């Protein structure tokens, strides 16, 4: 494995955090699972935290995953936790609405309720759960199969009156301690996330125009809050040896062109994950895929 990539994946003296970002459907969960299996096999105590809404994680890992770290059979050193986004979101909504009901009219509460159905509120709820995992230090590496957006982080950073804020929302706080503690916790988490020595922000995309552009915009937004993308996973890469007729040769050339574009735009190492002839399900398939992604070198490209 290329040293440059190694530096961005392997833990050193402290816990390493890997955030796998990207739009829905680009393969974040697969890449996160493959990566976690590989790290665990290398001997690092690894925690995989996912927010997989389709709950197919249980299929991929072939075992039931709880919302607290669950030991994975057949892979020593690997634990996984699946944040139930729906549940987290409901809890979060309830916390805010209960407070709001005491203060506002029914009409007003209805509006607040609908606003709490927004994708941003869902993301906040998930982030709230993330935070508790980020502060866990029992692991060498924690892999998150999703990442907060720049917008969420900016919102959380704003200098509002924390007292009122927390009074109404209970966000991030909720359970423990004083407002000072909450502020401190959030400060610590953002500090960790913007420290490249501890955190790696990786984007998953496939080599086509729209996915590249969407990732670029999201990465730019994160850059504005001091979080820099330092790794790219190029997914669904057509394997050259199977592209034998004109049709697939042309598609392959198209992909090559877009890979060049990814390189010049992002200017960070790219790991390429080949398209496979079957879905990646089960520990054996994951182990095999992790060999392809991290060991065979074929995918490696500075």
Give residues in contact with other proteins (CB under 8 A). Answer: 23-26, 53-54, 56, 92, 96, 100, 104-105, 107-108, 110-112, 114-121, 124, 151, 154-155, 158-161, 164-165, 167-169, 171, 206, 208-211, 213-214, 217, 239, 242, 244-248, 250-251, 254, 275, 277-279
Nearer to other proteins (CB atom), residue 107 or residue 175: 107
Distance in angstroms (rounded) separating the CA atoms of residues 47 and 143: 6
Nearer to other proteins (CB atom), residue 110 or residue 135: 110
How many residues in the chain? 302
Q: Least distance to other proteins from the beta carbon of 243, Å?
A: 8
Distance in angstroms (rounded) separating the CA atoms of residues 290 and 52: 20
**Residue 202 · residue 230 · CB < 8 Å:** yes
Nearer to other proteins (CB atom), residue 1 or residue 97: 97
Nearer to other proteins (CB atom), residue 160 or residue 181: 160
Nearer to other proteins (CB atom), residue 65 or residue 141: 65
Q: Least distance to other proteins from the beta carbon of 116, Å?
A: 6
- 3-class SS of residue 169: helix
Q: Least distance to other proteins from the beta carbon of 228, Å?
A: 20
Distance in angstroms (rounded) separating the CA atoms of residues 29 and 252: 24
Q: Least distance to other proteins from the beta carbon of 40, Å?
A: 24
**Cα→Cα distances 156→26, 121, 161, 225, 243, Å:** 27, 12, 12, 11, 47
Q: Rounded to a whole number, what is the distance in angstroms from the first to the last CA of the chain?
A: 11
């Amino acid at each position: 494995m290329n040293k440059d990539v190694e530096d961005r994946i392997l833990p050193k003296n402290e816990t390493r955090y890997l955030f796998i970002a990207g739009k829905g459907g680009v393969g974040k969960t697969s890449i996160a699972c493959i990566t976690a299996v590989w790290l665990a096999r290398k001997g690092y105590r690894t925690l995989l935290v996912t927010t997989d809404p389709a709950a197919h994680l249980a299929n991929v890992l072939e075992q039931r995953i709880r919302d607290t770290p669950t030991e994975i059979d057949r892979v020593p050193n690997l634990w996984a936790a699946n944040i139930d986004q729906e549940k987290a979101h409901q809890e979060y909504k309830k916390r805010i609405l209960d407070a709001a009901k005491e203060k506002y009219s029914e009409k007003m509460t209805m509006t607040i309720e609908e606003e709490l159905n927004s994708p941003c509120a869902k993301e906040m709820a998930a982030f709230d759960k993330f935070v508790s995992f980020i502060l866990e230090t029992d692991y060498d590496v924690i892999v998150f199969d999703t990442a907060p957006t720049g917008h969420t982080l900016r919102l959380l950073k704003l200098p509002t009156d924390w007292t009122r804020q927390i009074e109404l929302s209970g966000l991030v706080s909720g359970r423990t301690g004083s407002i000072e503690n909450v502020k401190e916790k959030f400060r610590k988490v953002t500090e960790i996330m913007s420290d490249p020595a501890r955190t790696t922000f990786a984007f998953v995309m496939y080599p086509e125009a729209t996915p590249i552009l969407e990732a670029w915009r999201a990465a730019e937004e994160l850059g504005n809050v001091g979080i820099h993308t330092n790794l790219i996973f190029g997914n669904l890469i057509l394997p050259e040896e199977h592209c034998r007729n004109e049709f697939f040769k042309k598609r392959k050339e198209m992909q090559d062109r877009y890979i060049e574009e990814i390189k010049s735009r992002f200017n960070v190492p790219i790991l390429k994950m080949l398209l496979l002839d079957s879905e990646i399900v089960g520990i054996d398939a994951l182990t095999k895929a992790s060999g392809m992604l991290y060991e065979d070198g074929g995918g490696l490209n500075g």
